Structure 1
Amino acid sequence: MKKHYEILIIGGGTAGIMSAAQLLRQKKSKSIAIIEPADTHYYQPAWTLVGAGTYSFDKTAKPMAEMIPKGADWIKDKVTEFEADKNSIKTDNSGDISYDYLVVAPGLAYDFSLVPGLGDAMDKGVVCSNYTNPKHTWDVVKNFKGGVALFTQPATPIKCGGAPQKIMYLAEDYWRKNNIRSKSEILFATAGTVIFGTKVIADTLMKVVERKDINLRFNHKLVKVDGEKQIAWYDLTKDIKAGGCIVMSGENDGKYIDESFQYNYKDVKVTKKDGLYGIHFDMLHTAPPSVAPKFVRESNLVNEAGWLDVDIHSLQHKKYPNIFGIGDVAALPTAKTGAAVRKQVPIITDNIAMLINHKKLGSKSYKGYSSCPLVTDYGKMVLAEFDYEGNFTPDPKLKRMLITDSSKEHWRLWMFKKFMLPYLYWNRMMKGKNV
């Protein structure tokens, strides 16, 4: 007999667990199930600290069986296909499962084919990523003896867009304290045009960049990686100003650098070939190119970019009113972070409850809130909080911690990141409590 649930949730990550826990606390449903194949649930925001050697990887993991809220069924399986017109999904081993309401929260997937060579090089030798193996990142950071340290990211959406630069700031601090910094050049290459999208945060980070003497390279789209020769190849996404130098070593003294491409020029080895620019590195940290999971991408639930097509305020699917999308998989013009999920969950739980009881949506609206805790040194942090418009939206509760301006570096924000946020995650968010 085909299984049926009033509310079916795909994904046992932050979004799925918090949604189920909140619905159960509010007694909003007769039956809830979570489909999740993994045995372990990870608190991934701490992986930046793991990669910097200041947090235990083991503390970021808990058995999935302990995370599934009491009252929800755990279907340990993979979704293979949607049949939204039939209010049903297909699974690997559990057959078809039907629902009244569906919450799609499987997170995202990594597609290394988008950056040829990166998959073969990842987490081997001097190529690392906090996204995939933060313990290897720490090995690379502590064993680095000098040279060119390249921090970069793909042009796809990624989890926590600030993460690729957070580990850079911590690595620089570590190398400075261990007499490696003077033998090193640190580069940050991004397809973006600014260091951060919210201006007040960008202003602070540019001061950090100045203090740490980091070379920024903008409009650099990572297109392939040669792990053996240690070259990261980039396509420049903007025309060069007439007469301007970009990144070629030895061409000039940096006097005429086009600053839309470079800030704080450093003369490192760059090879030009077939229209691409290859930066030679002695260590590389990057984020994997990211996409929606295959079963989502191949469904009729996605937009042209391949992400779950939901209304950005109600989080309701644009075609199927009994489907909601939340977290990294959703096509929302804001950062993909756990902090965003924290504000999204109360929206969908209210909307589902209103649909169950009153056949209409609730009045709550998601404004695009997300946040990025930007650690800038061991013991310092900036907290970027913003909405769809990129407005800086600091939480008034921070004043209780005697933090009057979270756009500036503060040691109390570091304590908040390292100690308070993990506590709030495990003991409040994952229990369905609003934070």
Structure 2
Amino acid sequence: MQIVQHDARFASADQISPADLAEIAAAGFRSVICNRPDGEGGPTQPASAEIRAAAEQLGLQFAWLPVTPGKIGPNEIAQFTQLLADLPAPVLAYCRTGNRATNLWQFAQASAAAHPVAEPVAPAVTATPACDWNADEKAWDVVVIGGGLAGICVTSSLLRRQPNLRIAIVEPNDHHDYQPAWTLVGGGAFDVKKTRRPMASVIPRGATWIRAAAERVEPHANLVRLTNGESVAYRQLIVAPGLRLAWERIAGLQETLGKNNVTSNYRYDLAPYTFELVQRMQGGTALFTQPGMPIKCAGAPQKAMYLACDHWMKRGVLSKIKVEFDLAGAVLFGVPTFVPPLMEYVKRYDAKLEFNANLVAIDGPARKATFEVKDADGNVTRVEKRFDMIHVVPPQVPPDFIRDSELADAAGWCEVDHATLQHPRWPNVFSLGDVSSTPNAKTGAAARKQAVIVAENVLAARANQPLRYRYDGYGSCPLTVEKGKVVLAEFGYGGKLLPTFPLDPTRPRRLMWFLKASVLPRFYWSGMLKGREWFTGAAHE
């Protein structure tokens, strides 16, 4: 339990338990408000009735005002305001992370003027001197949350169109990673050191880097609150923080990652360990897993398997290794056109496919993995499997500060119009990349195309003009089926094929391997991040 005191009468907290209430009462609180719907967190979440009973035994007043993330409306605000007036203070309100309770309290305040706003400040580190800004202005023209591919690309595209824009990039990390190459690292085909550069080296010229993490977005006040206690005001907001790898959702995984033959290409420090395990493998069972969608680069889990199998085949040990691919979903790949060529490689490597099998726990020292397996009738049973090597892909979720904000859709992703990438309720907010609610493949190629759409539409919105540019759902997944050959899957909304080259897209090609392993890494650093928009094909009405 973490309590945040906002003023003498109100504090917020993350999920509390009945055992916490004695401490809450001892701290002087007289009332508790629950803003979390029952059952939101599954069977481990204490029910509101259980908290109420424990609170009342200690003489605390209790109120339940459940609010769905991203769905705070006038009725909820009015009810919360009335509760603050009726309940004896001090009041503690809680939800899953404390964000919803905090947002409700802020809405209940008299006006946005009650919030202290930090003026734009020079960043701790910038790639180039920050562009000039008027110290009397409290708001940046554009604030971009996220310094990954999506955030850097859209910033570069905006500044190429309007170099005088005052843009701040909110990003806590001191490095920038070229993540698409980590699959190649795990297959022994790329140097991991070439996938990471200092963040300061990729910040676009003319943009300011605010080296801090976003903690909360308050679109009603045009504010981004940071973990360092400061706030950043904006006129336009672009949300591009990516998604969060939820390693903790697989019991025992975090304790055993990087040892006990447990690895994952989804982390910089672990991808080299993947290839180390592949090289050491002489026989036994190799498991490869894929969680439920959405995940970044939906083909990456099976690409790890293909590259490992190709290595074992060339070494002559594949026949001694039992290869199994456990998918939480019911299909090998979401675009049916590409399933037949992929199945040819599944057969070639004699890999076993286990559908509707979701990894839920792992015991590294005992070399045991536990899966929840769903049958045709929807019944779920737990199945334990031994392994000599396992490549794990973690569940992937929206960042908490988005999931619990007014920007979120019902699933917690940043809600946008699927064509314009504009938020439907907050017209000065746009989103792109892995965090957005668009139903496309979460890939770098998608973010690159989205960056052009967002740049054009943000500038149109600033000029009070119609949003003319439209995103067609384009995404690209270079499926490395063997070392030296790639099936380049390019598609848009609804699985519509959108090939860049006039070639059969289902055929594995050495040309596409050259593109994946040699051309794209160079283009990433020197082209994409610099705002080069070749082959983006941005469409407008």
Whether the TM-score (by the shorter chain) exceeds 0.5 is yes
CA shift, 1:302, in A, is 0.8
Q: Aligned to 1:72, which of 207, 216, 228?
A: 207
Residues 89-122 of structure 1 show CA distances to partners (whole Å, capped at 9, x for unaligned) of 1112261110000001011112223221222222
Partner in structure 1 of residue 220 of structure 2? 85
Q: What stretches of structure 1 move > 4 A for 4+ residues in a row?
A: none
Choose which of 303, 328, 339 in structure 1 pairs with 2:445.
339
Separation in 2, partners of 1:362, 1:101: 14
Is the 8 Å Cα contact of residues 7 and 29 (structure 1) preserved in structure 2? no
CA contact (8 A) 1:89 1:97 kept: yes
Q: Counterpart in 2 of 1:159? A: 296
Higher mean Cα deviation, 1-10 or 53-62? 1-10
Q: Alignment partner for residue 511 of structure 2, among 412, 416, 420? A: 412
Q: CA–CA distance in 1 between the matches of 2:353 and 2:187?
A: 21
Matched, 1:324 2:324: no
CA distance in 1, matches of 2:402, 2:260: 33
Paired with 2:510 and 2:445, the residues of 1 have a C-alpha distance of 20
2:526 counterpart of 1:427: yes
Conserved? CA contact 1:155–1:222, under 8 Å: no
One-letter identity of the residue aligned with 2:216: E
What is the CA deviation profile of residues 377-416 of structure 1, one whole-angstrom value per residue up to 9, with x for unaligned ones? 1111101111110122211xx24xxxx2121111111001
Q: Select the residue among 456, 478, 483 that pairs with 1:373.
A: 478
Query: Within 5 Å, which residues of 2 pair with 1:281-360?
Result: 281-357=387-463, 359-360=464-465
Does structure 1 residue 389 correspond to structure 2 residue 494? yes
Q: Deviations over 1:319-378 (max 9, x none)?
A: 111011110111121111101101111111111111112x13421111111110000111
Seen in structure 2, the aligned counterparts of structure 1 residues 233 and 361 have a Cα distance that, compared at 3 Å, is farther
- Higher mean Cα deviation, 204-213 or 225-234? 225-234
Q: Distance in 2 between matches of 1:299 and 1:190?
A: 31
- What amino acid sits opposite 1:413 in the alignment? M
Matched letter for residue 458 of structure 2: I
What code does the residue aligned with 1:235 have? E
Decide which of 79, 83, 96 is 2:231's aligned counterpart.
96
- After TM superposition, the structure 1 = structure 2 runs for residues 117-196 of structure 1, keeping only pairs within 5 Å, are 117-132=252-267, 133-196=270-333
Q: What's the C-alpha RMSD, in Å, of the aligned pairs?
A: 1.7
Partner of 2:119: 2
* Contact 2:291/2:329 (<8 A) preserved: no
> Structure 1: where are the runs of 5+ without partners?
247-273
TM-score (norm 2): 0.71
Greater C-alpha Rg: 2
| SS of residue in 2 equivalent to 1:318 | coil
Contact 2:144 2:239 in 1 (8 A): yes
Per-residue Cα deviation, 1:160-180 (whole angstroms, up to 9, x for no partner): 010011011110111112232
Match of 1:363 in 2: 468
Q: Which runs of 5+ in 2 are unaligned?
A: 1-117, 121-138, 535-541
**Separation in 2 of the partners of 1:360 and 1:87?**
21
Task: Look up the SS of the partner of 2:225 in the other structure.
Answer: strand
Q: Which amino acid aligns with 1:318?
A: P
How many residues are matched?
Answer: 397
Check conservation: 1:376, 1:409, Cα contact below 8 A. Answer: yes
AA aligned opposite 2:533: N
For 1:356, the aligned partner's letter is R
Q: What CA distance in whole angstroms lies between the structure 1 residues aligned with 2:331 and 2:406?
A: 35
Equivalent residue, structure 2, for 1:264: none
Normalising by structure 1, we get a TM-score of 0.88
Is 1:23–1:29's contact at 8 Å kept on the other side of the alignment?
Answer: no
Q: Distance in 2 between matches of 1:240 and 1:80?
A: 42
How far does the alpha carbon of each residue in 1:298-321 deviate from its partner, in whole angstroms, 9 at most, with x for none? 212111211111111111112111
Q: Distance in 2 between matches of 1:173 and 1:33?
A: 45
Residue 342 of structure 2 is aligned to residue 236 of structure 1: no
Q: Distance in 1 between matches of 2:213 and 2:194?
A: 26
